[in-house]
Structures are given as C-alpha cells and as structure tokens.
Chain A
Amino acid sequence: MSGSLNILVLIKQVPDTSSKAGLNPDGTIDRAKAKRMLNPFDRFALQAALHSKKVTNGKVTALSMGPPPAVEILLEAIEHGVDKGFLLSDRRLAASDTLATAYALHKVIQHLGPFDLIFTGLQTTDGDTAQVGPQIAERLNLPQVTYCEDFSIEGGKLHARRIVEGGHQTVVSEFPALVTVANAYHHLEYKTIRGARLVQELQRNEELKAQYIQTITLDDVGADPELCGLKGSPTIVAHTDKVGQIGGRCVMHQGKSIEMLVNEIAAGTNIKEFVRQ
C-alpha cells in the first residue's frame, strides 16, 4: 500500500464503430455526422486508473482533447467514478496529428500536474497509431510502460506486466510514470449508482458541473498555437483509398436454423450443386 496517488487518465471520443460514419470528400471521417463513443481501448485505461484510485485511496482526473461534445465521455468517466474532468478544446487544434496532439496534451499535463501515474489506452479506433501515449511520456521525460496488461502498486513502485512478442515482461518503475494499457487488462467495471446520480445532477446544475468539468484552451496552458493543429502537424495525408463500400454486398444470415441458413445461402449463390438435400 502506498500513499494516495494523483492519477491522470487520457481518454478520447471517437466515432461510434457501430454507426455508419460518413466520409468527407478528402477521405477523412466526417465527425459531425458520426455517432460518438468513448474509445473502446480507453475503457481499459479508465479501469486501470480507477483500480489505482481504489488501492491507493487516490484521485483520478480524466483529460480529453476534442470538440465540445467530448464532454460526454468526461461525464461517462464520472459515472464510473472519476473525480474531475478536463477538456482541451480549441479550434486551433483542428487536424492535429500525433506530434501536435502529444505536444498540446503534454502542455496541459504540465499545467494540471504533477501526477504520479498517467494512464492512456493502447491506441484509438479512429487513428490506430498508438503513438500519442509514448510521445507524451517522452515530452514529459517520464518512464513509460507500454502494452501493460496487468500491474500492482507495491512499496511505492509500479510493478507492471507488459505484453511482448512471444510472452510477457515484468518491469518495475518509480513514480511518476506513464502506462499505456493493453486491451488484455480487466474490463471496465459498471458505472456506480452514485456516479450516475452525480452526472444527472451536473446536467441540471451548470454551476456544479463547472466544478467537475473544465474546458480549457491552448492559451490557458501556454501552448504555442504554431505547434498545434494543422500547422504543427508534419503528417501529410497524400491520398486515401476506399477499400470497399461499408455494407457492400455482404449479406448477414443470422438467427436461423442450419437448414434455413443452408437453403438461403444456396439460393443466393452458385453453390447449389454442392448442397446435398
């Protein structure tokens, strides 16, 4: 058992993978049209943060970067037991690549910190780079534990098990440290009734909500706008290819008996001659 830890978890709102997200003409995702959800990988980071809070009697702050609707995932995090949320939201951040994102977020962390433990998800479902977490650690000059599938906090140190090719590796780190949590970690526990109640109260009471969730801008944290957004992003998306229409000609045959399935598939294809009646 260690002293109370000050814990940060980074979470992101992504287009809901179950909705058919529209695409802009340039091939990027039309985020305004898509339904939104908490990045599924971040659920493991959230669970890691809440677990650390419980075992160290600590505090968890959630930080997200995105347009104003991203407040939704901060509220969701509070339902699960997060104590406070910050949203970095600034038009000048639009079209940030991982370099610019990590720059902006590390400025926020310097502004809000210090934190003993920072958790991030492995990657996001919209970018899939897995670069932001490690970049932030480098910028903050923190030890980083990537692909962490389990951990314990003993004697004021982090004992973590990482997934490596062909097995796993156990590492011990001092605090502060940044951990990217693999999706092999424990599933996020269900929201609590207290958390769900608090969030409904926050939605009724703007004043109280401001105490729990703050929206901050680049100016608040002293970040250089030149290093953010499109300007700060050396990544160039030269060209995107559509690898097939969503939905396409795929037909799902579900919830039928085997006999029905065989008949349906046989009727729709040219495999009829191979089906024995």
Chain B
Amino acid sequence: MSDMDKIKYNLLLVGGSSSNLALAHRLIALAKASGQQLSIAILEKGREFGSHIVSGAVSNPHVIKKLFPDYMENGFPIEGVCTESFFSVMGAYKKWDAPRNLMPAEFKKEGYLILTLSNVIGWMANRLKEEVKDIPNVTIDFFPGFSAHEVIYDGSRVMGVRVSHTENPMDDYIYADVTVFGDKGFLSQDVLKNFDLRKNAQLWSVGVKELWEIPQDLSNKVWHTMGYPVLDGTFGGGFVYGMKNNRLTIGLILSLDSPNPDINPQQRLQDFKKHPWIQSLIQEGRLIKYGAALLPEGGYYSLPEKFAVDGAIIVGDALGTLNQRTLSGVDMAMECGYQAAEVLIEAFRDGDYSQAKLNQFQKRLNNTFVIKDLYESRYFRQAFNENPRLLNSYLPTVAKAVDDGNPMVGMLKVGLSNPFRAPFDGLRVLSLFSGTKDIGPVRYKKCHEHIQPDFQAPAMQNGQPFNKDTIYSREDAVFYANTRYHEGNMHIDEFEATTCMRCISRYSDQGKLPPCVNDCTAEVHRVDEIDNVRKHGMSLENCIQCRTCEIVCPEENLRVNPTAQGSGPDFAGL
C-alpha cells in the first residue's frame, strides 16, 4: 500500500466526547496563533455528535468559562444555573433534606450549570465546524456514524485505528501522527492493556436516567439523594435536576462493585420513582427519553501509570478522571482536553510523537485541579469498601428513621447501637473522605469479583401507592432510548458459550438469573432454554450500549464493541 493511498491525518480523535471536542477547540486556537499546519479527524460512533452521550449533569463552569469565555451569550446550551441544592436522605416513604450546615460541601451546587451533555456535545461540534472555517492552516473532518473498532500498532507505537471491514482494506484504516482516545473504554481499554498501563482495576458505576416533562417549573433546583431505593449495600444514589421548559431529570447511579448480583438499574430507577416525593413531581408528567451509561469511578488509584504512549494520548473517561466524591466529570474531561492540546501543539511543531514528548500531558495534568482533586478524593471509595457497615447497616437505619419522622434519632441510634464502632467509623470515614489520613495506595478488586451469587438482598419496601402509568418496564423503557440498528449488527462478543452455560447453572442453583440478565439496562441479555439446556441469548437490537454486562460478567466472557453505521440509541436531548 503506497502512502499516497492511505487515509492519514496529523491528529485522530477517537470519540466525540467532551474531552476530545475541548481538545480540538483549544488546539485549533493554538494552531491559528502559531500557523501550524494541521489535519484533524474526529470519529463518533453515534449517528450524530451527542447521540451516544448521557450525563447528569451539574457542572462547575470554570473550564467551560476558560474554553468559551462568552458561553452565556454564544448559544452554549444551558438548562439552568443551580440556585438551590439539596442533599436528601430517602426513606421508602419520606425524604429528609439535610440542613445546610450538615450538608457535605460537595453537594452544594449553587452557581453550577445544569447541562444536557448530549446537546453540549452537538453544540461544540457545530462550533468547531464554524471556527475552523477561519483557520486556513487547519482542516477538521467530522465522521459521525463511524467508530473505531481496533487499534493499529507498529511495535510500541499506536498508528491509528481500523474503522470498517469493507472489501477494500485501504478504505478501512485511518492513520495519524497522534491518536487521542477520549472514549468510554470501548477501545482505550485495549491500549491500556497492550502497554499494561492500568495496574489497578477500574471501578465502574452505571447511571440510568429519565427525562420527564412535568406540569410544574422546578428549574434550577438540584437534589442529590442517598437511601431508598439503594439500601442493599450497593454504593450509589439518586439525582433529580429541575431544568428549563418544565423538564425534569431523574436518575440513579449504582456502583457495579456490589455484592448484589441483581442490581437491575432500570427497575431500581422505577423504584426510586415510586417514592411519594418523586411521584408528586411526575404525576401528570410525560416520559421523554431514557438512557444509561457507565461512569469510571476508581479515581486516583485507577489512573494508568502513564497517560500517553508513542503516538497516542488518553484523556477523559478513558483515563478515568471523574471525581466521584464531587460528582464532577465534565469539567475534568474538558480540562484533560485543554491540557492535551497544549502538549500536542508543541509535538506537532517539533514533529515529535514519542511517549516522552506526549506524556508531558501527564505532568501538566498533575499540576491542575484534575489530579489534585482526585488525589484529595483518593480514599473516597476505599472508605466504603473497607467498611460495608456504612451502606448496609448505618444508611438503612437512618433511612428508616427518616420514615419514622426523625432522622436525627436515626443517627443517634447508629451511634448507640454501635457505641464503639460508629464514632470510630465516622472519624475514619471523614479523614478518608478528605484525604487527610494517608493509608498508602489502595488496590481495587474488579467489579465482578465483588458479586456474591448467594447474596440475599434485604426486601425492598414497596408499599407506597404509586401511579402505574409513571412506571416503565425494561422492555418499554427501550422504546424511549430510540435504538436503531443496521442489519447484521453483532456488537457484543460472547467468547465461550459453555462458560455462559456454566455461569447460568451456577446462578440457577441459587434460583437466580446471572448478572448480565439482571443488570442489563435495556433487555438485551436473556436465558434461553433450548432442548433442556439453559443458554445465554441476546437481543442486540435493544442495546443502549452502556457496557454494564461486560463489567458485571463474572467470567469476563462478554465484550461490548463499538457499533458500526451509527447504530444504537439516540440520546439527543437526554
């Protein structure tokens, strides 16, 4: 193959993510100033930029302000600016808003932007198209509906990616001087594995979210909740964001390093909605959209050893910069893009794409709030991991007390029934949360290693009256994710059929279904009984590409690949 016929760019951005688009925005501004010649390609597996993006999102505007100083006037899509934020403990019947002075600082979101990230991504892509028109030395090719399927290596150097499998191989590969991975792990996990960069496991949570149109105006109000319906020891909580035009975001984030093999995020979200408080909000409302996505939550100790290799940089969720304690991911990812751009402009100037050059990015990022905040929050998950009592004993006690009408008594009860443990636990947790106590590096088990097939979840209190028309089955929810797949789509690999059969029979012995079936957010996985043999089956046309099955598969026998042809859900506006 001659070089002439190769599809080649200076910079290839894998994924239309907030990190990659921020990177492009910053980089072309730098190239405009320096006159550096640049050709850039951006791959996005969704039909449009933003159609595979799900996020809360309430975001600190500091990085957006840095990227787009005129963001309040230039059409940057904002759903509102938070004026009132609450941290609430949920019983099965009542809700208790923690008084302001007891509220953890991380949950005070006043002044933060409420965003529909899919819209933000669409806007950023359009803005890039406009910006680049005024920069003759830079070209950007946008490829929505094209995803990277495979990383191309030459020895220890990343050369580019494979995009398609046509009969003409020269049309299938995109080569680049530098490839930046800003995906959610679909492909970047191969780079991390190939160079053995992530020594500690990544922890993942799954977020499920519904967008509602409601009769009342709750704009600019933000609630974060703990307690019901997450009282089984799983780490997680809910969020309710009021947005403009009478819309409401209702979501739940559930950590996948749970002992419970039946988290069932979509149905758990329905339980959340059965709570009388949420019922009071969505009565007479209308479900507009549903979606789900993973969140990388390992934080500081799940970061790769290096953030770059020869010919490639890893940013955003691929890197794992989300800060779970402060619930911030968007600004972290954008800052990654901003800093990577500063490194890349020099790399292109010098024609040096070595790891030594590109990994200046790590050094730069270490000096920003991104890594500093992650370092401060480094024991956040460990605090819960080392002490399951927090979630499976103390939290249910407080939630029960909320229902009984006095949450303070609940807290007292926690103290009295565990006179030696609780105060000690409390102090230790506080010092771990704030990172003031140093206990050295921590190691995480992979999420699926936490799952216990014989786990007995406490009975969910579901006696509340609720309007059935506000509650959706998993099958019905899929409709609201607007999935559309091309003929012949086969994007989830099952490596060994017999492995699945073994896993199914192990869970059958407990009278249960395997985690892939239980925890699927979109009715993809199922158990088929064929000739008295129980086998794993999939309805791939339902998939909303959250990748939960891959993370919870006890046998690591599943892999969710990026789809082709823009197939999948359409989360625009979610």
Pairing of A with B: yes
Residues from chain A with a CB closer than 8 A to the CB of B41 are 197
Inter-subunit contact B487/A193 (CB<8 Å): no
On chain A, the residues within 8 Å of B487 by CB distance are 187
Flag if B143 contacts A54 (CB, 8 Å).
no
By the criterion CB–CB under 8 Å, are A54 and B479 in contact? no
The stretch that binds B, out of A24-32, A83-91, A118-126, A253-261, is: A253-261
State which of B166, B170, B480 has its C-beta within 8 Å of the C-beta of A255.
B480
Per the bound structure, the CA–CA distance linking A196 and B564 in Å amounts to 15
Cα A54 to Cα B171 in complex, Å, equals: 14
B476-A194 in contact (CB<8A): no
Closest residue of chain A to B174 (Cβ to Cβ) is A193
* B479 nearest CB neighbor, chain A only: A255
Q: Give residues of chain B (430-471) contacting chain A, Cβ–Cβ below 8 Å.
A: 468-469
Residues of B within 8 A of A259 (CB): 468
Residues of B within 8 A of A263 (CB): 469
Give the shortest distance, in Å, between B413 (CB) and chain A (any CB).
Answer: 40
* Contact A190 B479, beta carbon cutoff 8 Å: no
- A205: nearest chain-B partner, CB-CB: B139
How far does the Cβ of A169 sit from chain B's closest Cβ, in whole Å?
27
Interface centre among B7, B141, B172, B480 (most CB of A within 10 A): B141
Could you tell me if A192 and B164 are in contact, using CB atoms closer than 8 angstroms?
A: yes
Within 8 A of A (CB), among B157-183: 163-164, 166-167, 170-172, 174
Inside 8 A of B146's CB, which chain A residues have their CB? 193, 196
Q: Does A276 contact B (CB under 8 A)?
A: no
Which B residues are in CB contact (< 8 Å) with A260?
A: 468-469, 476
Q: In the docked arrangement, what's the CA distance between A193 and B142, Å? A: 10
Say if the beta carbon of A204 comes within 8 Å of chain B: yes
Q: Which residues of A contact B166 (CB under 8 A)?
A: 192
Inter-chain contact B476/A256, CB cutoff 8 Å: yes
Q: Complex Cα distance A141/B479, Å? A: 52
**Min CB distance, A206 to chain B, in Å?**
13
Known: A255-B476, A257-B476. A204 touches B139 (CB 8 A): yes
Q: Does A200 contact B (CB under 8 A)?
A: yes
Number of A-B contacts (CB under 8 A): 48
Chain A proximity of B527: nearest CB distance (Å): 22
A194 to B41, CA, bound (A): 12
The closest CB in chain A to the CB of B472 belongs to A257
CB-defined interface of A73-98 with B at 8 Å, one 1/0 digit per residue? 00000000000000000000000000
Residues of B within 8 A of A256 (CB): 476
Contact A254 B479 (CB under 8 A): yes
Q: How large is the interface on B (under 10, 10 to 19, 20 to 34, 35 or more residues)?
A: 20 to 34
Interface of chain A: mostly helix, strand, loop or mixed:
helix
Interface string of A28-57 (1 = CB under 8 A from B): 000000000000000000000000001000
Indicate whether A257 sits within 8 Å of B473 (C-beta atoms), given known contacts A187-B487, A192-B166, A193-B143.
yes
Q: Is B349 an interface residue (CB 8 A)?
A: no
List of B residues within 8 angstroms of A193 by Cβ: 7, 143, 146, 163-164, 171-172, 174
What residues of chain A lie closer than 8 Å to B167, measured between beta carbons? 54
Contact of B141 among A54, A190, A191, A197 (CB under 8 A): A197
User: Which partner residue on chain A sits nearest B5 by CB separation?
Assistant: A194
- Is A192 in contact with B469, judged by CB distance below 8 angstroms? no
Residues of B within 8 A of A257 (CB): 472-473, 476
Note all chain A residues with C-beta closer than 8 A to B172: 193
Contact B171 A192 (CB under 8 A): yes
Residues of A within 8 A of B480 (CB): 255
Indicate if the CB atoms of A200 and B476 lie closer than 8 Å. Answer: no
In the complex formed, the residue of B with least CB distance to A193 is B163
Bound CA span A191–B487, Å: 15
Q: Which of A193, A200, A255 has the most chain B CB atoms closer than 10 A to its own CB?
A: A193
CA of A260 to CA of B139, assembled, Å = 51
Provide the residues of chain A in CB contact with B139, threshold 8 Å. Answer: 201, 204
Are A194's CB and B468's CB within 8 A?
A: no
Measured between beta carbons, the chain A residues less than 8 angstroms from B145 are 190-191
Instruction: Give chain B nearest CB distance to A108 CB in angstroms.
Output: 30
Q: Which of A216-255 contact B (CB under 8 A)?
A: 254-255
| Chain B residues positioned under 8 Å from A196 (CB to CB) | 141, 143, 146
- B287 and chain A: residue at smallest CB distance: A255
Q: Which residue of A lies closest to B143 (CB)?
A: A196
Chain B residue with Cβ nearest A189: B166
Q: For the complex, what is the distance from the CA of A191 to the CA of B141, rounded to whole Å? A: 15
Residue on B nearest A195 in the bound complex, by CB: B171
Most chain A CB within a 10 A radius of its CB, from B172, B469, B565: B469
CB distance from B430 to the nearest CB of A (A): 45
Q: A255 to chain B: which residues have CB within 8 Å? A: 287, 476, 479-480
- Considering the complex, give the chain A residue whose CB is closest to the CB of B170: A194
**A190-B565, A197-B141 are known contacts; what are 12 more A-B pairs with Cβ within 8 Å?**
A190-B145, A190-B164, A190-B564, A193-B163, A193-B172, A194-B7, A196-B141, A196-B143, A255-B287, A257-B472, A257-B473, A260-B476
A-B contact list, 10 entries, CB within 8 Å: A190-B164, A190-B564, A193-B146, A193-B172, A196-B141, A197-B7, A201-B141, A255-B287, A257-B476, A260-B469
